[in-house]
Structure 1
Amino acid sequence: MRRPRSIALTVLGTALAVMAGSTTAHAATVPVAAPVAAPVAAPVAAARSCPAPGGAALTPATQPKGAVKIYGHGWGHGMGMSQYGAQGAARLGCGYKTILKTYYYDASLAKRQLDAPVVLNLATGASKSVLDAETGSVRWASSTRSVVQPQGTSWTVGRKTINSRPGIALFDHTGKRRMFVPNAGVMSAAHSGTVVALHPYGGSSALSTRYDTARFVGSTAGIAVTETIRASGGTSAVQKYLTGLGEVPVSWPIEALKAQTVAARTFLSRKYSAAAQAYVLTAGTYDQVYKGWAVESVDAQYGGNWRKAVAATNGQVIVDAAGNTIEALYSSSMGGYTENREYVWGRYQISYLKGVDDSRWDAASTNPYRSWSVGMTKKAFAKKFGFDSVSSWSVADRGSLQRLQGVRVTGKIDGEKVTRTFTGADARYRLGLRSPGFTFG
């Protein structure tokens, strides 16, 4: 999911990373019915030192140019937990349980035994992949042989055809071929405890990690690259994975870090694949941002609060009223209000993904995208929604029941007057906005 900022403390004061083309958005596997109610959830009773989440005035954005004026807040899909809201809540003295209960309205915490390995899909069709052995040696193996890559060297897995058999080959730092497997065969690099940097060309960006085994499989589409994390030394694979998660800066208050670890663990728990007998997901914003050693090393230098948060919440996940693990969506910020699922994606509500007024918590955060504005001509606006021209456009205020009706646009198509309704997510995509948390001027 989209993290608020880079985990490196040296860049905590810089602007947000450039947003990917689409922010993580996953529909629930099974629709959960909810009674129709006002989309803004009632404030949760908080600890004595923790103020109510809402009730603060929102910072206004500057007025944009153009006939169509859009006033927005936050960055991301807008549902579930606001990461910057959690930061602000922790700054105000709120505990992680209160934070989670507020953002996931009717949910609660439960303990779950999460024992399966974690598999990170880094590439499905890479042209080649380089592995740097940074802090120790790496043992490569296939079904027929094994070789050891020395510390400080870079070896490459590339596509190769030998004796009319297409496959993948391992080349050492001198260019010598050390191993070959035909397509569908597995080549693995075990490096538990050794930090390696993986560079799949045509896949994800480089990943630095010390857990546990990189695997390479060739096909006509290219090279599939995965990293498998397994339990060891009394620590589950899930806990090891979480210590390398790069969703929020490790410098944030520990209660915000605890809230993030529980939400991330809950999200991960729903990614279990029976076929793989593992939790399978990507290492990027489509699922959760995993940075491995880049997070662990910075966290160790600055007090280890992220690791402490992971340990303190070991096994904790968020469940709904029926005891089922929820779809723990979260995004960078909502800028004062989270959104009801029905407004963002349409079709049906989910009881724990209701709108929440978190304006007071957000105001206490360092959120750089609390308020923003966009302006455009009516002609440009009409084109984005498939109209020849537009005469009116509307969306109800955030926090109102009418907002569930979505974004309404009226105009002409082929000479006929037409009114169409769009979900918040669809309108956001068409307009190229940071979030669906917007209204019109």
Structure 2
Amino acid sequence: MASFVIEGGHCLHGELVPQGAKNEALQIICATLLTPEEVKIYNIPDILDVNNLIQLLRDMGVEVNHIGVNAYSFKAENVNLDYLHSEDFMKRSASLRGSVMIVGPLVARYGFAVIPKPGGDKIGRRRLDTHFIGIQKLGADFTYSSSQHIYEITAKELKGSYMLLDEASVTGTANILMAAVLAKGSTTIYNAACEPYLQQLSKMLNKMGAKISGIGSNLLTIEGVDSLKGCKHTILPDMIEVGSFIGMAAMTGSDITLKNVSYKDLGIIPDSFRRMGVCVEQIGDDIHIPRHDTYEIETFIDGSIMTFSDAPWPGLTPDLLSVFLVVATQAKGSVLIHQKMFESRLFFVDKLIDMGAQIILCDPHRAAVIGQGRARTLKSSVMVSPDIRAGIALLIAAMSAEGTSTIHNIDQIDRGYQEIDKRLNAIGARITRL
């Protein structure tokens, strides 16, 4: 198990370029299974989750070539369906949450898919009902082996259907969308997720020959086609990394410029940090965060305590609430962090409390943070990263703390952040990888 040793109290100064979006990359790479032709993808982040998915496709028989920095070509001409029954496939796909999105493409193209109950972050229940009910409505049959924890999906022919999703699931919408593009007839998906990742996937599928309308809304209409062709696609900058760096700059009193962030695709994120009291300056397609000696959380108009809660796009992404929580610990004022989606994602706050943060964990979904306005800086600690987003929040806390901290299980951070230690050390951080 790898670890970070962080010498806290250093201000950063310089420029950072966000990596490609992890959540988009997982969807886009799975979509390459929809065509036997070559698909070239650029700005793929070099992170564990994405690299594991690429290797999984290689093992399935997809021809994968590294064609440049963060660029790959995929050609799924000869997919080995027998591999889906192998113990190696079960082990690899079970450890990767994003592997569930191979179901839609495989069922659409081959009428068959097998998937074990997927893994990923330990942040509470993450049900797959939306995925499966949607694909069932297109005509697929699901069987589940409770002893082996394996789902088997078959379909003689997929047919278009109207469906109202019970939740605006991002990966669920992506999975259903990828199945629907090759289904016979018309499919309407209401209450579809409309995050930029989904918009990017839809645009890529249309470049491949799909017929998707309503992109950017929660009502998608898909006219099925017989086959898809190859294309080229460039992944957006990762909005979660952009938000993480904004929070890191404020928390450490640093002066940082984030380059080429695709500002129009950040939604409510910059304004949410501004309500936290953080100065976020847009300069073209860049963001500049000047040095903050202090920052103060706004209240609501009636003077009541500010609340940050997650919501489907264009609301605030749940992946950034851990960052907002840790940034609030050194702000002036108080805030309620309400994590609605996952009931275990706030349990890392006990580590921040050990560092001196004033936080009340109200229940599994809500934490009240009393900001200390830098009157008392956090103290160093030894921690274990429980998931990707808590991991980056703990790293931010350690960088702002007095003394030297250690974070174990940093594989969780590496799953979502590309060479984070090297990139931050280049602008003044003191992070050692063990």
TM-score by length of 2: 0.27
Greater strand content: 1
TM-score by length of 1: 0.26
Larger RCO: 1 or 2 (CA < 8 Å, sep 6+):
1
Greater helix content: 2
Which structure has the larger Rg?
1
